[in-house]
Each structure stands twice: as structure tokens, then as C-alpha cells.
Structure 1
Amino acid sequence: MTGKRAFVTGVSKGLGAHLASCLAKDGWQVTGVGRRPRESAEVSAAVDYLQADLSSAEVIGGLVAKMDAVPDLVVHNAVTYPDRAAGRPELDTIETTMRVNALAPYELTLDLLAAKPDDQFCSVVVINSESVYHADADSAVYAASKAALRVLTGGLAAACRSTNAAVSTLMLGPLGDANKVEEIRRIAEKRGATPAEITRLFLRRSNPDLVIDDFIDFDACYLSLRYLAELGAVANGMLCRLDGGSAGTLV
């Protein structure tokens, strides 16, 4: 699949930067979108970087026009969270969360598929979160945006039937991002325990349904992404859970 074009959102840091960088390393021509300026982004220099704020309807509507061609793979990874320290989120914060996490992927996918030549296959992989199954007082707005994304993704998959495109979902559990790993390390050092012990304790307390003892690493996410992309049209509507069972046994 090398030599093909990929478009990835949310690439300035974290999982998005990792996915885009891995695709570029594997020979893909990658265009990535991030909120940070290029000089502060953590993504590989091999990625063609576009700085853009996906909370803006005007920005979303103009992204496809900036591309030389419709990509063969689209990865929707961009995400935003309300600031928990700020207390009850204001309405504009809720709207921004919904726009970035749910409406932007939906609108961008529709625009890209409308611009796609009929003979070109396009795989769209939407990154979602197991938080849709576990909303609480602090995470309700974020979880609601991800639940909306799940419903909209189902609609996109239905619209893609017989159109030489596939829209699938990669549902992720607790990720081992740098900040989380560092926090675990500090707690372990303070308590005189190992990071592995603190990680197991955290995961078991935070989600009783979880049946793994470690965070999900970025490489596992990339392998799952490649798997979905390589399935072709049969992946349309597919949900791939990489969540350690955190959604519960009957989901």
C-alpha cells in the first residue's frame, strides 16, 4: 500500500502524530492537520502539515480544496476535551467539543467522498473512544461527542455502500500517552511501587470491565489502523474494538 495518499487529523501530538509519522515511514504520502504551529508539532517532518482549527466551520469547509487529490486513506483522530478544572462547561465549550469531535469528521468525510473519483477506493477510519460506554459527571460532554460521532459514522457507512469507499471505527480504550505514563511514574515513585503495579491498580479501579493490565500503546493502534485500511470494502461499517474489554462483555 506504499505510495498512496493519506490524510490524518489531530497530528500535532500524541496518537495522531504517531499514526501520521508511521504512515509516512511506511511510504505513504501523508497530509496531516493540527492546531499547533508546525514548529511545535511532534509529527514527523515527512508529513505535509496543515495548521487548522477544526472548530471553525469555514476551516472545515475549505480543507478539501487545499488537497492536491482525494486521499486513499482518511484517519479522523482530532479530539478536544472540556477543561475539567474550569468546572461546569459553558455552552460554547460544549459546542466546540461537539464540532471538533463529531461534526468535523462527518462534514470532512462527506466533502472528501463527494470529491472522490468513482474509480478510486477510499478507506475512512474514525478513531473513537470507549468513553461512550462510561459517561460520568466529568466526562459527559466528551462522551456525548463521541457517542454522536459513533452514530454519524454509522450513517456515513450506510451512505458509502456501493460507492467504492469504506467507513470503519477503531474504538480505543485507555491509551498510554506520555502525560499519563509520566503521572503513573511519579505516583509509583512516591509510593515506592513499580509503574506496572500502579498502572494495574489504576486500570482496575477506573474500569472494572477492563481485562488488561496495561495501557494500550500507540503501535497497537497503528497496527489496527492498517488492518482496517487493508480490509478494503468489507470494512465498511465495521467496529474494531481495541479497548481491553472496557465496553463490557455484552457490547
Structure 2
Amino acid sequence: MEPKRALVLGASQGLGAHIAVRLAEDGWSVTGVGRRPRQVTALDGSVEYLQADLSQAETLVELPKLVAGCPDLIVHSAVTYHDFGVSVPTLDELEQVFRVNALLPYRLLHQLLSDKPGDRFCSCVVLNSDAIFHARRLSGIYAASKAALRVLTTMLADTFRADNASVSTLLLGPLADAKKTADLQRIATKRGMSPEELTKAFLRRSNPDLVIDELIDFESCYLSLRHLVELGAVANGSLYRLDGGSAGSLI
């Protein structure tokens, strides 16, 4: 029997690359998509790779052709950020953030699910951020784009709920990505603290509503995603929080 096919958008580095490699280790036939050239990605030979820019409209036309039909699983992990040092981004900069983080993914996922044969089930898991609950001065524009993605993901779930598909959201808190971990290590060494102590202090100051003392590791994210996939059709429209939010929160 042929292995199930997975498409991971935003797979060149970080969490997207981890998910792509882990899916391949678990027996999936995986195609990763990212902006970077193959030679500078964090992928190994187990993952097929397509270089594509999700900020470009032509990607909507070309990528579905290259994928050649809807896979059994689509994971959206692509993301971009504006310059946090700029207090008022230009309209072009705003549009770039919303195009990559919300608008192009919505159109692309809609296209792939529309092209899916009716007898083929497809799970679509959209990775999002707990930033949607905040409107801070520096990160508010990023948060707004991710909030837009959340609304559009809900639309997709409603649109395709009768079409043998599942569209769900994996909502993530502060991740243990390489840059953040290295920065915390550097600052901890400078201050004569352990990385664990500094991480606790960082999370309490930057995310006072969270009840976690350490960054969320990539493998926990993968296991959460796999759970959503294993739920099948019943996961449609669901939001799975892995963000260390207070158990007392009603949202």
C-alpha cells in the first residue's frame, strides 16, 4: 500500500521543517514548501522540497499544479513578520504580512481542497499563534494577521465540512525555536543565570497570562498535530491550544 501524502507549507526551517521530517519518519510521503533554496533548509533527504514564495500571487496557480492533486494531509506553517522596530509600517509592508500570514494561505488551501476528489479524505491543520489574544504595540500587526488567519480557517472548516475534509487549528504559544533559545542562552550567560531561570523570568514578563515555565518544544507541537490528524473528520472546525494558557480562562 502506498504511503499517505502530506504537504507542509513553510517547511524550510524551524517548526515546519521539524514537522515535515517527523511525518516522513512516521511513514508519510512528504512534500515541503518554502521560500529558501533547498541547500539552506533544515530538511533531510526524506522530504521532497518545492521552493515557492507564498507572498506571490502566481504561487496560487503554480503550486497546485506541482503538488498534482490534493494530499491526505496539509499542514500550514508558513509565517512572516514586519519590522518590529517600525512603529507605523507602510501599506505595502502591512499587505505583505497579511498576504503571507492569512490571504494567500486561505486561497491556496481553498484551491487544494476544492480540487480534492470527493472520495478522498484530507486533513488540513493550520498552525496559528496565541498572539491573536493580544494587541501589543510591537506585535499587534502580526497578531492581527494571525487573527485574520483564524477567521479564514473557520470559514474553510465551514465551507468543506460536507466534502470529506477536516480543517482545524493548532494554536501555539512561545516556541523553543533556535534563535530564541540562543538569545536566552547568551543573555543568561551574561547575567550569570541558568537558561532555565532566565526563561522563567522571560515568560512571566512577556506573557503574564501564561502558566508555563519553559518554551514549548517542537516535538510537543508535532504530537498535538498528529492527534488532530488521527481524530479525522471529527476534528473539523476545532481549535487545539498548546500555549500554556491559564486553566481559568474562558477563551
TM-score normalised to structure 2 length: 0.96
Distance in 1 (alpha carbons) for counterparts of 2:21 and 2:49: 11
Structure 1: which amino acid aligns with 2:21?
Answer: S
Deviation at 1:243, TM superposition (A): 0.3
Superposition pairs for residues 84-163 of structure 1, below 5 Å?
A: 84-163=84-163
Distance in 2 (alpha carbons) for counterparts of 1:211 and 1:152: 29
2:32 equivalent to 1:32: yes
| Alignment root-mean-square deviation, CA | 1.5
Distance in 1 (alpha carbons) for counterparts of 2:174 and 2:67: 33
Distance in 2 (alpha carbons) for counterparts of 1:79 and 1:246: 26
Q: Which moved more, 1:39-48 or 1:169-178?
A: 39-48
Distance in 2 (alpha carbons) for counterparts of 1:41 and 1:247: 37
Structure 1: which 4+ aligned runs deviate by more than 2 Å? Answer: 85-88
CA 1:149/1:172 → structure 2, altered by over 3 Å: closer, same or farther? same
Aligned residue-pair number: 251
Deviation at 1:115, TM superposition (A): 1.0
Deviation at 1:248, TM superposition (A): 6.9
Deviation at 1:44, TM superposition (A): 2.1
Deviation at 1:150, TM superposition (A): 0.5
Deviation at 1:83, TM superposition (A): 1.5
Distance in 1 (alpha carbons) for counterparts of 2:19 and 2:191: 34
In the other structure, the counterpart of 2:202 is 202
Question: Does the CA contact (< 8 Å) of 2:72 and 2:122 recur in 1?
Answer: yes
In the other structure, the counterpart of 1:180 is 180
How far does the alpha carbon of each residue in 1:44-71 deviate from its partner, in whole angstroms, 9 at most, with x for none? 2211111111001111232111113310
Deviation at 1:86, TM superposition (A): 4.3
Deviation at 1:247, TM superposition (A): 9.6
Question: Does the CA contact (< 8 Å) of 1:204 and 1:210 recur in 2?
Answer: yes
Aligned-pair identity (%): 61
Distance in 2 (alpha carbons) for counterparts of 1:27 and 1:175: 26
Long gaps (5+) in structure 2: none
In the other structure, the counterpart of 1:17 is 17
Long gaps (5+) in structure 1: none
